[in-house]
Homo-oligomer: A and B are copies of this chain.
Amino acid sequence: MPLIRNINQTDMNPVQMDGVKGASMAVMIGREDHAPHFAMRSFAVEPGGHTPKHQHDYEHEVFVVSGQAQVLLEGQQHDLTAGDTVYVPANELHQFTVPEGASEPFRFLCFVPVEQNCGGPVPGS
C-alpha cells in the first residue's frame, strides 16, 4: 500500500557494522513495505564519522540531503554537498567520511536493490 513518511520524523538506529563510526540509518521504503525492486534508506553520519570502506555485488544510488562529506571512489576522495547524486557501481570500493570539524551531521539517502546478484536479500533493504 502507499506510504508517506518524513526522514526528519523517523527514528534512526545506529549502524552496527565493522568499520563504521557515528552512523545511523532508517529504512524509509524497503522489503517490509513490499518494495519489489529497490529500497530507500536514510543515513546520518556525525562529524568525524564514516561508513565502512567496502565493496559488494550490488550498486548504490545516493542523494546528499545536507551537510558535507567526502566519498572515496576509484581510489580518490571527492567532496560532496547538498544536491549531489552519486552512483556507486557494484564491486566498487567506496566510503563516506565526514570531517572532524563539520558543523552538522551528513545526511544522505542510499538506495539499493532488494536482492543481491546471487539472489539473497541485500542487508538493510
Chain A residues close to B by CB (< 8 Å): 1-9, 28-29, 33-38, 40, 42, 59, 61, 63, 65, 71, 73-74, 78, 80-81, 83-90, 92, 94, 109, 111, 113
Q: Taking each of A80, A83, A89, which has the highest tally of chain B beta carbons within 10 Å of its own beta carbon?
A: A83
Q: Which 7 A-B pairs have the closest CB atoms?
A: A3-B87, A2-B73, A37-B113, A38-B38, A28-B85, A29-B87, A6-B83
Bound CA–CA A40/B71 (angstroms): 19
Q: Complex formed: what's the CA distance from A40 to B81 in Å? A: 17
Q: A6-B84, A34-B89 are in contact. List 6 more A-B contacts (CB 8 A).
A: A3-B85, A29-B61, A38-B113, A40-B61, A40-B63, A63-B109
